[in-house]
């Protein structure tokens, strides 16, 4: 079952996670590694704590240095800015000849 919603604009990919009961002192981490975004931590539901972890593949044109997250009204929003894809992934390398 998907625990998040995804919205995409021309400039960003935005993920919304409903995570009740988070505060600054709670253990939650958001990080990227090898073209994935991971959100993990603990949250409270009806006087108990639950552990969660979600790992999502992210596109190669994601600007990982520009990723931002904000928590408000039980929603964790993670905004992944898009970079322009290189127009040409092929590059010719000149060969120097040592005569």
Domain holding 23: CATH number? 2.60.40.790
* Distance, CA of 20 to CA of 74 (rounded, Å): 5
Q: Would you say residue 23 lies in a domain?
A: yes
Domain count for the chain:
1
**Residue 64 per-residue DSSP state:** G
**According to the model, what pLDDT value does residue 89 have?**
64
- Interval 29-66: pLDDT, tens: 999 999 999 999 876 667 777 788 999 999 989 999 99
Neighbours of 58 (CB within 10 A): 16
**According to the model, what pLDDT value does residue 24 have?**
75
- Interval 79-99: pLDDT, tens: 999 998 766 667 777 888 887
12 or 84, which is more confident: 12
* Distance, CA of 4 to CA of 91 (rounded, Å): 39
Q: Would you say residue 22 lies in a domain?
A: yes
Tell me which residue range forms the domain holding 26. Answer: 4-81
Q: Would you say residue 47 lies in a domain?
A: yes
Q: Would you say residue 31 lies in a domain?
A: yes
Confidence (pTM)? 0.77
Alpha carbon 59 to its chain centroid, in Å, reads 10
Q: Which residues contact 77 (CB under 8 A, 6 or more apart)?
A: 14, 15, 16, 69, 70, 71
Q: Would you say residue 86 lies in a domain?
A: no
């Amino acid at each position: 079952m998907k625990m998040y919603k995804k919205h995409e604009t021309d400039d960003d990919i935005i993920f919304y996670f409903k995570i009740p009961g988070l505060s600054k002192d709670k253990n939650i981490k958001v990080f990227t590694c090898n073209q994935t975004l991971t959100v993990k931590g603990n949250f409270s539901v009806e006087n108990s704590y639950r552990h969660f972890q979600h790992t999502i593949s992210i596109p190669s044109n994601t600007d990982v240095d520009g990723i931002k997250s904000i928590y408000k009204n039980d929603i964790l929003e993670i905004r992944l800015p898009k970079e322009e894809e290189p127009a040409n992934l092929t590059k010719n390398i000149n060969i120097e000849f040592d005569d």
